[in-house]
Amino acid sequence: MALIVQKYGGTSVANPERIQNVARRIAAFRNDGHDVVVVVSAMSGETNRLIALAKALQNNPDPREMDVILSTGEQVTIGLLCMALKEIGVDAVSYTGGQVKILTDDSHMKARILSIDDAPMRADLKAGRVVVVAGFQGVDEKGNITTLGRGGSDTTGVALAAALKADECQIYTDVDGVYTTDPRVVPEARKLDTITFEEMLEMASLGSKVLQIRSVEFAGKYKVKLRVLSSFEEYGQGGEGTLITVEDNKNMEQAIISGIAFNRDEAKLTVLGVPDKPGIAYQILGPIAEANIDVDIIIQNVGRDGTTDFSFTVNRGDFEKAKGILEEVRKHIGAREVLGDNKTCKVSAVGVGMRSHPGVASQMFRALAEEGINLQMISTSEIKISVVIDEKYLELAVRVLHRTFGLDQAK
Amino acid sequence: MALIVQKYGGTSVANPERIQNVARRIAAFRNDGHDVVVVVSAMSGETNRLIALAKALQNNPDPREMDVILSTGEQVTIGLLCMALKEIGVDAVSYTGGQVKILTDDSHMKARILSIDDAPMRADLKAGRVVVVAGFQGVDEKGNITTLGRGGSDTTGVALAAALKADECQIYTDVDGVYTTDPRVVPEARKLDTITFEEMLEMASLGSKVLQIRSVEFAGKYKVKLRVLSSFEEYGQGGEGTLITVEDNKNMEQAIISGIAFNRDEAKLTVLGVPDKPGIAYQILGPIAEANIDVDIIIQNVGRDGTTDFSFTVNRGDFEKAKGILEEVRKHIGAREVLGDNKTCKVSAVGVGMRSHPGVASQMFRALAEEGINLQMISTSEIKISVVIDEKYLELAVRVLHRTFGLDQAK
């Protein structure tokens, strides 16, 4: 007898047959005596279809009207899922973001949730209904439709779980949990039973796109018990997915490193011979930010002879643009040269265990060195060590590190 | 400097190119100094796509959820049209039915409009914006999404024109006005400059599907000046369409008959030897109505020998179902026999002029008799004479009547 919020992504509701599968899973939870609130995304492909329509009319679509259009994707799914539920005898009612009153700020296409009115949902649950809510959308104070940005349905799920003080927020997706690394690269990759929020944040931001990063932050902040599961396994037969926990409740036997994440899409840029004086980092990165280019790793080493070298990575798609901007910046600040390399990738070892285990970094560097892999950049946080390397070594590096940290050993 | 409500149907907004055409037309009206409120339908094909999705999940889709799904069609169009307008420098803002607050009753899929909040629209118009409203939809007192039924966008247009006391409500469609009859049957058919609401009602209900009948009733009731135009003609080059007038302001020279309407989809059913006693019509038609079968013409002649014959027409698609029901009814009421014919059609002459001109009916019957066309049923109203005939004579009958009443003569 628990209150469970379930979120189903676009591939889980991609067509009527899959929606029927989702309905049967929900019915099984109801039969076990649970109250269920469901959040759904748009059917896969639908959001892209709508974006293409908008872009055919406006190169840079008006954000308010874009939200009016995009929000219809989820609205269709909530109606269809309620129909599928009713067809198998489960009473259900749908709510758009505006109807359940997910109040957001007015930042169209990237709105933040301010509050949720849980009263109508509680009344429906009490009356024995499954509540089906459109993910990804809300409404601002003036009644304008807003959306939370791509992947925002995860955030809706977590926000509803927080507002309803649900026992668990289950995120159904096309994978059955969070893995130690990508099984396509390392066949021995294992599913993790638990992972901490901090680790999940590092894994998510490093390219393990199981969960939207904002939803993980949100869940951590509001102490929502979050679980990632597969919607393609039969109810009762599938595993328990991966539980994302607030506390580091791993026992001592457990591995220091939880997973190896990687990102193929890194491109490296270096400005050589930068005058080593205050404000120089801003002078270099300011124009990059203004061009809406996201910067990932930033490295500036100690200066020498009054100059220093400044490096950072960007998404590979932004490489040429960023390089052009840096050429202008170079003239302006009197730097020597701009170097670029878009054949790089990033590999990271993530684990809260490294806090209490010194020597993880050197263990990692030795393993890579033994394979002859040169490290181009190094960046560390409290629970993560990332290296930028030549992209041709990506698979090799991931496999080596996976083995080095004992992630392929069954426990 | 007028306030004009324009309604564009599904074919007028079927793709981005056509939406751009609509935007240019609106811009031209703005440039001429008019305030414009626009009502749009779903892009053609979209409503059918959504219905198919729903029917894949529920044989008899839940009406509340059906409205949640169907209303997204128009919601996409309003966003797209606003984008197209902004792209050519026309400021615009979109409203869903719920946002503009088109309050309806709670009859899902066939809701009636109760009130419209015109304040936000007036504020936008004053600020120089074009207001784009989703047709076909509203919201009930509890905030549930409702729809007005197929063709409901016309009704939305007329209702907005009434609420805003607009100078004119223009219904843009794929024909350039109302014709004396279908030009595909009679190439000499002429576009009417004006037609009365009463005539339009008869024409619409008889198969000239230019305007949704409810919107015509609505316009007549609220004295909204209604005009049917083509959205496929260039602005300024097209004609004036057909103005639907409240008063019969035709001059004496004008034809008695305004148009020849027809309907191919009629099927005729007759119960022979019905005991001629009170309540028998209800006993026959009650079960038909319960089966949700619309009945068109009903004829019962005077009885003879204590029995009478009872005939009516239904849509051809309902023929077999209605016949089955009548067989049961026949046993129950002790009638002699049920006859059916689904190879019939209906042809009607419509015109307010016939009120003051006796002899129209006999003129019509003589013309048809001269062509050897047998009349199976006759039904008349104050401004209409309908005959049911063998479907093979349809084109011949329409052509003959069109000529008989001088409709092919230019004026």
CA of A132 vs chain B CAs: smallest distance (Å): 11
How far apart are alpha carbons A171 and A380 in whole angstroms? 29
Give the model's pLDDT for residue B133. Answer: 98
Residue A189 DSSP one-character state: -
Most confident of A201-205, B248-252, B405-409: B405-409
CB contact B364 to A (< 8 Å): no
Nearest to B62 among A16, A19, A83 (CB): A83
Give the model's pLDDT for residue B237. Answer: 60
Nearest to B57 among A20, A65, A66 (CB): A20
CA of B238 vs chain A CAs: smallest distance (Å): 25
Query: What average pLDDT does the segment B339-348 reach?
Result: 93
Interface mutation vs chain B, best among A21, A46, A65, most B CBs within 10 Å: A65
Give the model's pLDDT for residue B211. Answer: 75
Query: Per-residue pLDDT tens for A28-43?
Result: 999 999 999 999 999 9
**CB within 8 Å: B82 and A61:** no
A266-275 vs A307-315, strand pairing mode? antiparallel
Nearest to B79 among A59, A69, A96 (CB): A69
pLDDT higher than 50, residue B252: no
Question: CA nearest A363: which of A290, A256, A258, A282?
Answer: A256
Give the model's pLDDT for residue A69. Answer: 98
CB contact burial A369-396 (16+ within 10 A = b; e otherwise): eeeebeebbebeeebbbbbbbebebbbb
Q: Confidence class of residue B199 from pLDDT cuts 50, 70 and 90? A: confident
Q: Using CB atoms and an 8 Å cut-off, which of residues 68-107 of chain A contact chain B? A: 68-69, 71-72, 75-76, 78-80, 82-84, 86-87, 93-94, 96, 98-99
For chain B, give the mean pLDDT. 89
What sign does the dihedral B227-B265-B58-B53 (CA atoms) show?
A: negative
Nearest to A57 among B16, B50, B78 (CB): B16
Q: Which two tokens stand for residue A76?
A: 């269709």
Compare all CA atoms of chain A with the CA of B98 and give the residue at the minimum distance: A143
CA of A17 vs chain B CAs: smallest distance (Å): 8
Give the model's pLDDT for residue B253. Answer: 45
**Could you tell me which residues are beta bridge partners of residue A93?**
A131
Compare all CA atoms of chain A with the CA of B61 and give the residue at the minimum distance: A83
Query: Per-residue pLDDT tens for A148-170?
Result: 986 789 999 999 999 999 999 99
Nearest to A84 among B57, B86, B93 (CB): B57
Compare all CA atoms of chain A with the CA of B14 and give the residue at the minimum distance: A53
Query: What average pLDDT does the segment A249-254 reach?
Result: 50
Q: Confidence class of residue A408 from pLDDT cuts 50, 70 and 90? A: confident
Among all chains, which residue has been given the structure tokens 């239904």?
B314
CB contact A147 to B (< 8 Å): no
Q: Confidence class of residue B214 from pLDDT cuts 50, 70 and 90? A: confident
- Residues of chain B with Cβ-Cβ distance to A131 below 8 Å are none
CB-CB neighbours of B368 under 10 Å? 20
Q: Cα–Cα–Cα angle for A91, A97, A100, nearest 5°?
A: 55
- Residues of chain A with Cβ-Cβ distance to B96 below 8 Å are 68, 145
pLDDT higher than 70, residue A396: yes
For chain A, give the mean pLDDT. 89
**Could you tell me which residues are beta bridge partners of residue B92?**
B130
CB contact B53 to A (< 8 Å): yes
CA of A154 vs chain B CAs: smallest distance (Å): 22
Query: What average pLDDT does the segment A298-311 reach?
Result: 82
- Residues of chain B with Cβ-Cβ distance to A62 below 8 Å are 82-83, 86
Least confident residue range of A115-124, A270-279, A385-394, B395-404: A270-279
Least confident residue range of B28-32, B178-182, B302-306, B392-396: B302-306
CA of A121 vs chain B CAs: smallest distance (Å): 14
pLDDT higher than 50, residue B160: yes
**Could you tell me which residues are beta bridge partners of residue A191?**
A179
Give the model's pLDDT for residue B230. Answer: 82
**Could you tell me which residues are beta bridge partners of residue B222?**
none
Helices (H), A275-334: 280-290, 319-333
**CB within 8 Å: B16 and A68:** no
Nearest to B57 among A19, A75, A144 (CB): A19
Query: What average pLDDT does the segment A243-256 reach?
Result: 64
Amino acid letter for position A362: S
Query: What average pLDDT does the segment A209-215 reach?
Result: 74
Query: Per-residue pLDDT tens for A347-380?
Result: 999 988 787 777 888 889 999 999 999 988 888 8
CA of B61 vs chain A CAs: smallest distance (Å): 7
A33's CB contacts (< 8 A; 6+ apart) are A1
Helices (H), A235-312: 280-290
CB contact B51 to A (< 8 Å): no
Give the model's pLDDT for residue B290. Answer: 86
Question: CA nearest B77: which of B110, B101, B42, B44?
Answer: B42
Give the model's pLDDT for residue A206. Answer: 55
Indicate left, alpha or beta for B265 from its phi (over 0: left) and psi (-120 to 50: alpha): alpha
Distance set, CA A169 to CA A392, B69, B312, B371 (Å):
39, 26, 60, 76
Compare all CA atoms of chain A with the CA of B47 and give the residue at the minimum distance: A76
Give the model's pLDDT for residue B277. Answer: 80
Helices (H), A209-318: 213-221, 280-290
Nearest to B84 among A57, A71, A144 (CB): A57
CB contact A311 to B (< 8 Å): no
Q: Confidence class of residue A47 from pLDDT cuts 50, 70 and 90? A: very high
**CB within 8 Å: A66 and B79:** yes
Least confident residue range of B64-68, B133-137, B371-375: B371-375
CB contact A19 to B (< 8 Å): yes
CB contact A16 to B (< 8 Å): yes
Give the model's pLDDT for residue A252. Answer: 46
Angle between helices B213-221 and B197-205 (to 10 degrees): 170
Query: What average pLDDT does the segment A60-67 reach?
Result: 96
Query: Per-residue pLDDT tens for A331-355?
Result: 999 999 999 999 999 999 998 878 7
**Could you tell me which residues are beta bridge partners of residue B168?**
B4
- Cα within 13 Å of Cα(A139), Cβ side: 18
pLDDT higher than 50, residue A253: no
pLDDT higher than 60, residue B251: no
ipTM metric: 0.79
CB contact B125 to A (< 8 Å): no
CA of A159 vs chain B CAs: smallest distance (Å): 22
Domains in chain B with CATH codes = 3-174 (3.40.1160.10)
Nearest to B83 among A57, A84, A145 (CB): A57
pLDDT higher than 70, residue A251: no
Query: Per-residue pLDDT tens for B299-324?
Result: 887 777 788 888 999 999 899 999 99
Query: What average pLDDT does the segment B353-373 reach?
Result: 86
CA of A235 vs chain B CAs: smallest distance (Å): 20
**CB within 8 Å: B58 and A94:** no
Nearest to B75 among A64, A66, A68 (CB): A68
Give the model's pLDDT for residue A58. Answer: 95
Least confident residue range of A270-279, A332-341, B86-95: A270-279
How far apart are alpha carbons A114 and A118 in whole angstroms? 13
Interface mutation vs chain A, best among B69, B78, B102, B145, most A CBs within 10 Å: B69
pLDDT higher than 90, residue A303: no
Least confident residue range of A57-71, A100-114, A287-301, B317-331: A287-301
Compare all CA atoms of chain A with the CA of B101 and give the residue at the minimum distance: A143
Give the model's pLDDT for residue A354. Answer: 81
pLDDT higher than 80, residue A180: yes
Q: Confidence class of residue A254 from pLDDT cuts 50, 70 and 90? A: low
Q: Confidence class of residue B380 from pLDDT cuts 50, 70 and 90? A: confident
A-B contacts (CB, under 8 Å): 107
- Residues of chain A with Cβ-Cβ distance to B66 below 8 Å are 79, 83
Q: Confirm if B375 and B346 have CB atoms less than 8 A apart.
A: no
Query: What average pLDDT does the segment B18-44 reach?
Result: 96
Nearest to A56 among B16, B54, B62 (CB): B16
Interface mutation vs chain B, best among A26, A40, A48, A57, most B CBs within 10 Å: A57
Query: What average pLDDT does the segment B50-71 reach?
Result: 96
Q: Confidence class of residue A381 from pLDDT cuts 50, 70 and 90? A: confident
Phi and psi (nearest 5°) for B76? -65, -45
The pTM for the full model equals 0.81
Give the model's pLDDT for residue A213. Answer: 75
CB contact B58 to A (< 8 Å): yes
Q: Confirm if B340 and B269 have CB atoms less than 8 A apart.
A: yes
Interface mutation vs chain B, best among A20, A78, A80, most B CBs within 10 Å: A80
Q: Confirm if B46 and B9 have CB atoms less than 8 A apart.
A: no
**CB within 8 Å: A16 and B56:** yes
Interface mutation vs chain A, best among B18, B44, B72, most A CBs within 10 Å: B72
**CB within 8 Å: A62 and B96:** no
